[in-house]
């Protein structure tokens, strides 16, 4: 358990800059998700913290200790890879005991610890099985148990659930989240799945092209993105361009009262679920497309030539219907361009 | 048809061995008899007669080849690992050069090395013979292990290290068990390569170091078919045992652990 500080981290492969001056502070016991598209440098950053690769520039601190030059095995930062990497020639028991055995811990203590973890991870009865005899979820739990056995300072999870089916994934996400809070282990998890990130994280660091675009709580990063890039990463958005004159936002979909007084070149952002269909709306439009999604329906609505995407529980509307839309500009996020 | 072809091929492979076996236990087998008339164990008795030293030479040869196998693997292992996981200039050239001992006749290599060995004072010694036997073994050792390393990758090693294993512990508990099938296969091929060497042993050993193949040769040349066959039968049995053990070991490894293995 430690806090982690990353200072001015850079890494290049050949001419390609993978990480550009990353700065990040992670508090003890927090679960941080490094979120980003593939190729954004998430795994590189994680491997650098684990010590598998070295950064070109910058410092990594666990608490007050600079760990740049500390070898992998002395860092106490365990990686759980997306391929799990259970040792195929060892049983479940030996896999979990591995880290303790390498530390030459007393056999009785190892046994006690491993049995505890086997209970905790619901792996009873599988102790003597080899990894190929386990199901995907069991293998996942063995990999996590093996990592937890050595009571690491830092737990590094590299897309740990990406190979599981959706039900199992949900279960394990909850399980790991609970466990992490219970054991209070500082955890960094890498994923490209935004739902997983929003669900799991205490804070999300959005990494795009080797730069951290925003580091914030899931709620803030989703509802108050600092840039259009961040906003778009979390799903479709509607933009309304215009200018504000004397507290009135003037745009091609109409004029609205806003909290800002005077500004030109402003863009208001609304997520599809913020487009509210109601009798008392402040703009009018026509539905041009309907996409049924089960729990909700997505409508594409034409307003004065601009297409708006709206996500709602109202399923009874059809293409060609006139709708009235309410846009709450007082709570909307805006950007400048 | 398929069954017939299979049986035919097996027959073609087995028949010469069968005839060799028969030849080893006859006194004479003149034309036109299909089966030998005069069974005798004189060849085997001769081989196991202590004064002929043939049995001792056989044991010596087995030991020599085992030592050669050990050293060749010892050299091949780090070389293969470096080729698999480290990037350096001229890596692909080195990979090609590794196969050179298979392309260039080993005799020409040995003749060149012979001079150096004389200068170093290791010509006509066991050490010299072991060293010269290592050379034709290295391409097999490195090539097989290189493929195993490339297939396995080194992620398991890194995983073990994040769990706190030192480099030496990783080698012992992860790398060696993971590449064991490759080591066994490479080892048996290197053993056979060493055991079957004739001329380079003769050259570097200067006739003082006598291996089993060298005992075999004069009997074949002099036309004593019974003796040559008996010696060859033992030769084949020795190699057969090595291959059998290797198959068994690799089979057991596969059976006892995961399909992750290469």
- CA B65 to chain A, closest CA, distance in angstroms equals 29
CB-nearest partner of A150 from B164, B177, B259: B164
pTM: 0.82
Please give the pLDDT value at position B262.
41
Instruction: Using CA coordinates, name the residue in chain B closest to A50.
Output: B162
Mean pLDDT computed over every residue of chain B: 89
Please give the pLDDT value at position A1.
64
Report the pLDDT averaged over residues B208-226: 87
Please give the pLDDT value at position A167.
85
Distances (CA, A) of A333 to A204, A223, A304, A328, B119: 19, 8, 22, 10, 85
Please indicate whether, in this complex, the C-beta atoms of A88 and B160 are within 8 angstroms of each other: no
Q: Is B260 helix (H, G, I), strand (E, B) or coil?
A: coil
The DSSP annotation for B21-44 comes to HHHHTEEE--TT-SS-SEE--HHH
pLDDT, tens only, B128-186: 999 999 999 999 999 999 999 999 889 999 999 999 999 999 999 999 999 999 999 99
Please give the pLDDT value at position A258.
86
A14 shares contact with chain B (CB less than 8 Å) = no
Report the pLDDT averaged over residues A266-294: 90
- What strands, in cross-sheet order, belong to the sheet with A283-292? A276-277, A322-326, A283-292, A297-303, A306-312
Distance CA A107, CA A102 (A): 11
Share of chain B above pLDDT 70, in %: 97
Tokens encoding B198 = 């004739």
B165 shares contact with chain A (CB less than 8 Å) = yes
- Residues from chain B contacting residue A158 (CB–CB below 8 Å): none
Please indicate whether, in this complex, the C-beta atoms of B160 and A87 are within 8 angstroms of each other: yes
Paired with A157 in beta bridges are: A80, A189
Please indicate whether, in this complex, the C-beta atoms of A72 and B161 are within 8 angstroms of each other: yes
- Residues from chain A contacting residue B260 (CB–CB below 8 Å): 88, 131-132
Looking at residue B149, the DSSP 8-state letter turns out to be H
Please give the pLDDT value at position B1.
67
B255 shares contact with chain A (CB less than 8 Å) = no
Contact A75, A69 (CB under 8 A): no
B258 shares contact with chain A (CB less than 8 Å) = yes
Please give the pLDDT value at position A261.
83
CB-nearest partner of B261 from A83, A88, A146: A88
B181 shares contact with chain A (CB less than 8 Å) = no
CB-nearest partner of A99 from B163, B257, B259: B163
Please indicate whether, in this complex, the C-beta atoms of A85 and B161 are within 8 angstroms of each other: no
Please indicate whether, in this complex, the C-beta atoms of A87 and B174 are within 8 angstroms of each other: yes
Choose from A48, A82, A88, A113 for mutation: most chain B CBs within 10 A: A88
Count of residues in chain B: 262
Superfamily for domain range B53-256: MetI-like (1.10.3720.10)
A252 band by pLDDT with thresholds 50, 70 and 90: confident
Residue found by looking up tokens 């992998």 in the block: A72
Report the pLDDT averaged over residues B237-249: 91
pLDDT, tens only, A112-169: 999 999 998 889 999 999 998 898 889 999 999 999 999 899 999 999 888 888 888 8
- CA A98 to chain B, closest CA, distance in angstroms equals 8
Please give the pLDDT value at position B104.
87
Instruction: Using CA coordinates, name the residue in chain B closest to A53.
Output: B158
Please give the pLDDT value at position B257.
56
Please indicate whether, in this complex, the C-beta atoms of B261 and A130 are within 8 angstroms of each other: no
Mean pLDDT computed over every residue of chain A: 91
User: Which of B103, B135, B102 lies closest to B204, judged by CA?
Assistant: B135
Distance CA A252, CA A29 (A): 49
Choose from A67, A73, A154, A158 for mutation: most chain B CBs within 10 A: A73
Report the pLDDT averaged over residues A265-289: 90
pLDDT, tens only, B32-81: 888 888 888 888 888 888 888 899 999 999 999 999 999 999 999 999 99
Contact A94, A128 (CB under 8 A): no
Please give the pLDDT value at position B69.
97
CB-nearest partner of B155 from A71, A75, A83: A83
ipTM of the complex in this document:
0.82
**Which residue blocks in chain B are alpha helix, DSSP H?**
2-24, 42-48, 54-85, 91-98, 100-103, 106-120, 126-152, 155-162, 167-170, 176-195, 199-205, 212-222, 225-256
pLDDT, tens only, A299-314: 999 998 899 999 999 8
- Residue predicted with more confidence, B29 or A32: A32
Distance CA B189, CA B69 (A): 9
CB-nearest partner of A77 from B155, B162, B257: B162
Instruction: Using CA coordinates, name the residue in chain A closest to B168.
Output: A102
User: Which of A191, A214, A195 lies closest to A203, judged by CA?
Assistant: A214
User: Which of A149, A93, A102, A168 lies closest to A123, judged by CA?
Assistant: A93
What are the DSSP E strand ranges found in chain A? 4-13, 16-26, 31-35, 57-62, 65-66, 77-80, 154-158, 186-191, 203-208, 211-216, 238-245, 248-251, 254-257, 263-270, 276-277, 283-292, 297-303, 306-312, 322-326, 333-336
Count of residues in chain A: 337
3-state secondary structure B85-101: HCCCCCHHHHHHHHCHH
- CA B70 to chain A, closest CA, distance in angstroms equals 23
Report the pLDDT averaged over residues A12-19: 90
CB-nearest partner of B163 from A98, A130, A132: A98
CB-nearest partner of B158 from A72, A76, A89: A72
- Residues from chain A contacting residue B152 (CB–CB below 8 Å): none
Instruction: Using CA coordinates, name the residue in chain A closest to B169.
Output: A102
The DSSP annotation for A78-112 comes to EEE-TT----TTS-HHHHHHHHHHHTT--HHHHHH
Distance of CA A162 to the CA centre of its chain: 13
Distance CA A331, CA B4 (A): 84
Share of chain A above pLDDT 70, in %: 100
Report the pLDDT averaged over residues A236-252: 90
The domain locations on chain B are 1-40, 53-256
A48 shares contact with chain B (CB less than 8 Å) = no
Tokens encoding B55 = 């049995």
Report the pLDDT averaged over residues B99-122: 89
A233 shares contact with chain B (CB less than 8 Å) = no
Q: Which residues, 6+ apart, have CB-to-CB distance to B193 below 8 Å?
A: B133, B136, B137, B140
Instruction: Using CA coordinates, name the residue in chain B closest to A143.
Output: B159
pLDDT of B88 > 50? The answer is: yes
- CA B178 to chain A, closest CA, distance in angstroms equals 7
Report the pLDDT averaged over residues B185-194: 94
Domains of chain A: 4-233 (3.40.50.300), 238-336 (2.40.50.140)
């Amino acid at each position: 358990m430690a806090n982690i500080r990353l200072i001015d981290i850079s890494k290049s492969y050949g001419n390609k800059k993978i990480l550009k001056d990353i700065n990040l502070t992670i508090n003890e016991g927090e679960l941080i998700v490094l979120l980003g598209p593939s190729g954004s440098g998430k795994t590189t950053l994680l491997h650098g913290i684990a010590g598998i690769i070295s950064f070109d520039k910058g410092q990594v601190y666990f608490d007050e200790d600079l760990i740049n030059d500390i070898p992998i095995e002395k860092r106490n930062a365990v990686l759980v890879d997306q391929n799990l990497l259970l040792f195929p020639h060892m049983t479940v028991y030996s896999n979990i005991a591995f880290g303790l055995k390498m530390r030459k811990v007393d056999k009785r203590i190892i046994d006690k610890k491993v049995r505890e973890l086997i209970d905790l991870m619901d792996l009873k009865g599988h102790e003597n099985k080899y990894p190929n005899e386990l199901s995907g979820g069991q293998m996942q739990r063995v990999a996590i148990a093996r990592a937890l056995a050595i009571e690491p300072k830092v737990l590094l999870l590299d897309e740990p659930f990406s190979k599981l089916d959706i039900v199992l994934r949900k279960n394990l996400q909850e399980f790991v989240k609970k466990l992490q809070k219970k054991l209070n282990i500082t955890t960094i998890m890498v994923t490209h799945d935004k739902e997983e990130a929003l669900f799991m994280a205490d804070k999300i660091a959005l990494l795009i092209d080797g730069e951290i675009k925003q580091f914030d709580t899931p709620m803030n990063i989703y509802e108050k993105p600092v840039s259009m890039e961040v906003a778009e990463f979390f799903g479709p958005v509607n933009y309304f361009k215009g200018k504000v004159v004397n507290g009135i936002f003037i745009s091609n979909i109409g004029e609205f009262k806003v909290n800002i007084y005077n500004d030109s070149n402003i863009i208001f952002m609304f997520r599809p679920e913020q487009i509210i269909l109601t009798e008392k709306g402040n703009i009018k439009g026509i539905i041009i497309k309907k996409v049924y999604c089960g729990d909700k329906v997505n409508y594409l609505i034409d307003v004065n030539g601009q297409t708006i995407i709206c996500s709602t529980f109202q399923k009874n509307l059809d293409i060609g219907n006139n709708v009235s839309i309410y846009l709450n500009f007082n709570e909307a996020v805006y950007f400048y361009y | 048809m398929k069954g017939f072809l299979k049986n035919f091929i097996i027959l073609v492979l087995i028949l010469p061995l069968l005839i060799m076996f028969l030849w080893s236990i006859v006194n004479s087998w003149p034309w036109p008899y299909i089966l030998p008339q005069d069974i005798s164990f004189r060849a085997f008795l001769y081989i196991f007669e202590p004064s002929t030293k043939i049995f001792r030479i056989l044991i010596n040869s087995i030991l020599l080849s085992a030592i050669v196998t050990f050293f060749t693997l010892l050299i091949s292992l780090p070389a293969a690992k470096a080729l698999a996981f480290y990037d350096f200039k001229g890596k692909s050239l080195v990979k090609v050069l590794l196969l050179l001992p298979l392309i260039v006749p080993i005799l020409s290599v040995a003749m060149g090395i012979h001079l150096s060995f004389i200068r170093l004072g290791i010509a006509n010694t066991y050490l010299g013979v072991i060293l010269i036997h290592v050379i034709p073994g290295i391409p097999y050792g490195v090539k097989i292990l290189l493929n195993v390393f490339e297939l396995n990758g080194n992620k398991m090693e890194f995983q073990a290290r994040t769990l706190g294993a030192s480099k030496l512990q990783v080698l012992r508990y992860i790398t060696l068990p993971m590449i064991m099938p490759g080591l066994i296969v490479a080892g048996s091929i290197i053993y056979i390569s060493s055991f079957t060497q004739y001329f380079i042993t003769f050259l570097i050993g200067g006739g003082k170091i006598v291996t089993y193949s060298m005992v075999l040769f004069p009997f074949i040349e002099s036309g004593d078919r019974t003796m040559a066959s008996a010696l060859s039968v033992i030769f084949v049995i020795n190699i057969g045992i090595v291959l059998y053990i290797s198959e068994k070991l690799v089979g057991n490894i596969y059976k006892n652990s995961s399909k992750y293995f290469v």
